[in-house]
Amino acid sequence: MLAGMCLLVVAGCELQEVTVVDIEDVLVAEVFANIAPDPGDNEIVALVHRTLQPGVTYDDLATTSITVTRSDGFSVELSLQAYDRCVSAAVGDPGLCFAAEGAAVGDIGPGDLLEVEVAFEDGRLLVGATRIPGAFDLEGVPPFCRLGPDELMTIRWSAADGAWAYLNETSMRNLPDALAREGIEFNTHPLYLLGLSISDDDTSIVFPSEFGVFNRFDLDQDVAVRLQRGMPIFSDAEVAITAVDRNFVNWARGGNFNPSGQVRVPSLRGDGTGVFGSTVGRSFDLVVTSPTPSLEDCPLG
């Protein structure tokens, strides 16, 4: 009886035709020109990798030639660097890192028009261009200043010509010890918070209460509520405002950080995909303490 039932079940089934699709191994180059206040800190970095990650090697990409050329003919070649020069080890995306920095790129600045050529050993080629956002300044903020405990600081900056958005980042240090004095247990050190001003004229943000919009689902609730009224005494932070170009915004996507929507838009064309983006950054450091003659107060806005 059991055998008969099995035959009936088999007889009532129809085999479905399954088509196996070969996934193309696409070359990806992510190139960024990052312009700092000190030209000696300028850098151009490139992460070269593939869409097929498991089991692939990158030895054949080590000879990739990456050339960035300014509109007046000035050019710079990127050289192979240690992987973590491009990507944090915590991210773990495989690939090879290329970079140029310091004197080699110190002559490149805000507003420059750059083109990139990524030439692979097998003849494949990627090309693209970026216009670096214009220069901008933080209004009235010294390089290092004092913020009072539980004070909120409105950071304002001038608009950067050509910027499509501004990244607002902070790295808060010594929070675990400072919060422990208030009975809040917290172990993350430093605490990194990321925000975004999504238009070229959105040029102010309140620190620290408006930082961390992309961290709100991961941040400890007690800490998030605590930071709404300011930082605790004896903590300190680095704060950075970065103007980013259209290419950066259209490519940036991941986790809760989706300024370009759910789909990345490439700015490199040719035998693969990728991005050639550019940024201009400004930053300052602050310490949270009582008033002291040796430290300039941070402007509260």
Phi then psi for residue 52, to 5 deg, are -90, 105
Please report the pLDDT score of residue 104 as a whole number: 93
Does the structure show a pLDDT above 80 at 98? yes
Share of the chain above pLDDT 70, in %: 85
Hey, what amino acid is at 112?
D
Share of the chain above pLDDT 90, in %: 69
Please report the pLDDT score of residue 127 as a whole number: 98
Q: What is the pLDDT of residues 108-158, one digit of tens each?
A: 999 999 999 999 999 999 999 999 999 999 999 999 999 999 999 999 999
Which residues 6+ apart lie within 8 Å of 54 measured at CB? none
Q: What is the pLDDT of residues 149-175, one digit of tens each?
A: 999 999 999 999 999 999 999 999 999
Q: If you ran DSSP here, which 8-state letter would residue 131 be given?
A: E
Q: What is the pLDDT of residues 232-276, one digit of tens each?
A: 999 999 999 999 999 999 998 755 566 656 678 999 999 999 999
Phi then psi for residue 117, to 5 deg, are -130, 120
